[in-house]
Amino acid sequence: MELTRRTFAKTVAASAAALAIPRQFLHAAEPQGDLGISHSADAIHREAVIKSTPARVYAALTEAKQFDGVFKLSAASKTMPASAAPSAISKEPGGAFSLFGGYITGRQIELTPNSHIVQVWRSASWPAGAYSLVVWNITPSGAGTKLSLDHTGFPAAEAEHLATGWRDNYYTPLIKYLAS
């Protein structure tokens, strides 16, 4: 299934209602610059075509051992202590995940192998109880895989930091990891 704005909006609205995310965090907007931040700084959209299969991309995002390989190539790994906790990622809807030494935590909402991941996601630096919604879509694209990310519902002041983090700690290291 191809993700359109309408399909994404319906998915976000349904997930947001279940998660009690305020509606003001969910309106659609156009991306700003190459960081993918909406003009109103309430959404981030990123995408890339990766020279790998959908199964390998999905596994790198959902298997703790593989994600730790991505983490080792990330900008965040250079600032974290060697004793940081390894990634823990549930492969079940409703299951928890903890990444980047526990700095990023959340729950898996939907997991469709090799094609779709929906997560409630938070940073340890956010106020207690603040969660956002992250939607990954993984689709075949020529000889590779198109990986798209839509992130909504985060504290507005975090947009630039998060957009840079998605680039430096997910996309760039994921592309390197899967190229090996």
Q: What is the pLDDT of residues 84-111, one digit of tens each?
A: 999 999 999 999 999 999 999 999 999 9
Average pLDDT, the chain: 85
Which amino acid appears at position 133 of this protein? L
Q: CATH number for the domain including 136?
A: 3.30.530.20
Task: Confirm whether 117 is domain-assigned.
Answer: yes
At 34 the pLDDT is 59
Task: Judge whether 133 lies within some domain.
Answer: yes
Q: Which two tokens stand for residue 90?
A: 């549930």
Is position 13 within any domain?
no
* Residue-level pLDDT at 139: 98
Alpha-carbon separation of residue 54 from 51, 136, 138, 140, 145 (angstroms): 10, 12, 6, 6, 6
Find where tokens 């983490």 sit: 71
How many structural domains does the chain have?
Answer: 1
Q: Out of 23-27, 97-101, 112-116, 154-158, pick the least confident.
A: 23-27
Range of the domain at 160: 35-78+85-179
Nearest residue to 52 (alpha-carbon basis) of 153, 143, 170, 157: 143
* Distance, CA of 28 to CA of 125 (rounded, Å): 25
Nearest to 105 by CA among 75, 72, 83, 132: 132
pLDDT per residue as tens digits for the range 28-81: 333 444 566 544 558 999 999 999 999 999 999 999 999 999 999 999 999 999
The reply to whether 40 falls in a domain is yes
pLDDT at 92: 97
| Residue 16 in domain | no
DSSP per-residue letters across 133-170: EEEEEEEEETTEEEEEEEEES--GGGHHHHHHHHIIII
Least confident of 14-23, 62-71, 137-146: 14-23
Residue at 143 is within a domain: yes
